[in-house]
Amino acid sequence: MTADLAILYAEHLVVLQTRTAVALERAGLDHLVVPSGTLHYQAFDDRDYPYAVNPQFKAWLPLTRNPGSWLVFTPGSRPKVIYLQPHDYWHVVPEAPGGAWVEHFDVVVIRTAEEALSYLPADRARCAILGEAQSALADVVPNNPPAVVRYLDYHRAFKTPYEIEMMRIATQSGVRGHRAAEAAFRAGASEFDIHFAYCIAARQDALDLPYNNIVALNTHGAVLHYMLLDRAPPGHIRSFLIDAGASHAGYACDITRTYSYDPGDEFQSLIDAVDTAQRAMCTQVRAGMDYRQLHLDAHLALASVLKDFGVLKVSPESAVATGVSGTFFPHGIGHGIGLQVHEVAGFAASDTGGTLPKPEGHPYLRLTRELQPGMVVTIEPGIYFIDMLLEELRKGEHASAVDWPRVDALRPFGGIRIEDDVVCTHADPQNLTREGFAALG
């Protein structure tokens, strides 16, 4: 961690301690206790699932592979880390605590999970213990007090400068992977081989990636979460959609790009039109913007693209009003991102509770809050040719709104999605993704 990052990290911890003090006071509690999480084992087997650190833990510490550890914070005192470093010759043992984070914590190294009990607050009833049930240790059982969780989750939407820098670094890895994946696609590689080209360039494997890569050729691009990875390329390669991210110190980036194999064909022109519309949507990430309105505006913009390319026979306004646009754009415009790819509290009305509803007829939107400085969101419009949804439209009362021969001509290409991670500021938005691609050249 550079000197500048170390300063940003120290400032980040001050923000977390301030937030936590308020959350504990609201709940009438004295201590925050956060387990890092433990390993899950498969039923009827001795194989463990990939370890995933508790997000409440990695919010404080850049430690993502330390199961069995604990964070303790009591307002007015230095935070404590109970660091499990077991005696073990079967597995790789975490290195001794080190790095810029250490100077900000009282660190206790333990050799067995049970040793943590003597270093946790004695009065368990005065603790907010945030974690999953299986992290329980004797009488230290996660209770996840709603008042504490609501407050911390709500304010987690507002990223500190340190967190934004972590996401910027993650983006650098993701962009390298995307460039390598495009090159592999152009060389005629299979989905499986493109995926590995991505991982090699990003220097991350399945345990590091924030989500499973979506690597889709041709019609597979019409499956929103396609993850099968064919081992052989199709006989006729037409298009490529890749939705793949990367991680750094517990923070994620989330990037999607779409390409036509023939850069001069009509599908590439359609991709370019969606890209132009997406860039305009990114400029709407401004303080005071209702994210729900941004989503509705995206429907109108994409319907305009479909109208321009002859897919729609009705006006963009009519396509949106009748729900026809939802056949081609069936998901939300995006979501919050940070410690989790789909960041928490997307529907929170306030830090005390309540829910902000989704627009009627748009059930898959993941964020309904008003944008404010510090929020980081994805902007990911898409146009897809999904057989199931198209057949429903063809059989319905609005079938005449579509030029079906045009749809049939585009169906073999699957779909288009363009996704950037964008920071809301006090002025112009900051597009981490576009900056990352520009920096790579």
Q: What is the predicted pLDDT for the residue at 365?
A: 97
Q: Is the pLDDT of residue 95 over 90?
A: yes
Is residue 386 within 8 A of residue 212, CB to CB? The reply is no
Q: How far apart are CA 188 and CA 233, in angstroms?
A: 7
Domain boundary among 155, 173, 194: 155
Judge contact between 289 and 264, C-beta under 8 A.
no
Q: Are residues 202 and 68 in the same domain?
A: no
Token pair recorded at residue 248: 């750094």
- Amino acid, single-letter form, for residue 214: I
pLDDT computed for residue 3 by the predictor:
79
CATH number, domain of 425, equals 3.90.230.10
- Note the pLDDT tens digit of each residue in 281-290: 999 999 999 9
Give the residue-averaged pLDDT of 409-434.
98
pLDDT band at 441 (very low <50, low <70, confident <90, very high): confident
Q: Which two tokens stand for residue 222?
A: 């019409």
* 67, 37 contact by CB (below 8 A): yes
In a shared domain, residues 331 and 222: yes
Q: What are the C-alpha distances in Å from 341 to residues 39, 47, 79, 314, 366?
A: 21, 26, 27, 36, 11
Percent of the chain with pLDDT over 90: 98
What does the buried/exposed string (b/e) look like for 375-411 if buried means 16 or more CB atoms within 10 Å of the residue's CB? bbbbbbbbbbbbeeebeebeeeeeeebbeeebbeebb
* Same structural domain, 40 and 117: yes
**Residues 153-198: tens digit of each pLDDT:** 999 999 999 999 999 999 999 999 999 999 999 999 999 999 999 9
Same domain? For 117 and 229 the reply is no
**Residue 205 and residue 350 in one domain:** yes
| pLDDT at position 1 over 80 | no
pLDDT at 216: 98
Residue with tokens 């789909």: 342
Spatial distance between the Cα atoms of 333 and 283, rounded to a whole number of angstroms: 14
Structure tokens at 390: 């198209």
Residue pair 97/81 in contact by the 8 Å Cβ criterion? yes
Same domain, 64 and 122: yes
Same domain, 224 and 265: yes
Q: Return the pLDDT at 38.
A: 96
* Residues linked to residue 241 through DSSP beta bridges, in sequence order: 216, 258
Say which residues have a Cβ less than 8 Å from residue 147's Cβ, sequence separation at least 6. 23, 26, 27, 352
Mean pLDDT (the chain, rounded): 97
Amino acid 225: pLDDT: 97
| Angle value at C-alpha 234, between 232 and 236, nearest 5 degrees | 150
Judge if 340 and 367 occupy the same domain: yes
Contact 428, 362 (CB under 8 A): no
The domain that holds 108 is classified in CATH as 3.40.350.10
* Residue whose tokens read 């850049």: 62
Structural domain ending residue among the three candidates 155, 170, 185: 155
- Do 173 and 115 sit in the same domain of this protein? no
pTM of the model: 0.97
Element (H, E) at 164: helix 161-186
C-alpha to C-alpha distance for 183 and 199, rounded to whole angstroms: 13
Give the range of the structural domain holding residue 398, as residue numbers without chain letter.
161-440
- Quickly tell me which residue has 């999953």 as its tokens: 132
Identify the pLDDT of residue 360. Answer: 94
Summarize the confidence of residues 370-395 as an average pLDDT: 98
Give 10-42 pLDDT, tens digit per residue: 999 999 999 999 999 999 999 999 999 999 999
Same domain, 42 and 174: no
> What is the predicted pLDDT for the residue at 227?
95
CB 170 within 8 Å of CB 74:
no
Per DSSP bridges, beta strands 70-73 and 31-35 are antiparallel
Q: Are 356 and 388 in contact (CB under 8 A)?
A: no
**Quick one: which of 434, 435, 438, 385 has its CA closest to 410?**
385
Q: Identify whether the C-beta of residue 164 lies closer than 8 Å to the C-beta of residue 376.
A: yes
- Reported as a single tens digit per residue, the pLDDT across 344-356 is 999 999 999 999 9
Residue 240 bridge partners (DSSP): 217, 259
Which of residues 155, 175, 200 is at a domain's end?
155
Shared-domain flag, residues 221 and 255: yes
Residue 206 is predicted with a pLDDT of: 86
- Specify whether the backbone of 323 is left (phi greater than 0), alpha (psi in -120 to 50) or beta: left
For position 187, what pLDDT does the model report? 98
Q: Mean pLDDT across the stretch 335-348?
A: 98
Name the least confident of 90-99, 233-242, 285-294, 426-435: 90-99
Does 235 have pLDDT greater than 90? yes
Q: What is the DSSP letter of 356?
A: P
Query: What's residue 2's pLDDT?
Result: 84
Mean pLDDT, residues 295-314 taken together:
98
pLDDT, mean of residues 415-439: 98
Query: What's the pLDDT score for residue 267?
Result: 98
- In this structure, the answer to whether residues 75 and 144 fall within a common structural domain is yes
> In the chain, how many domains are there?
2
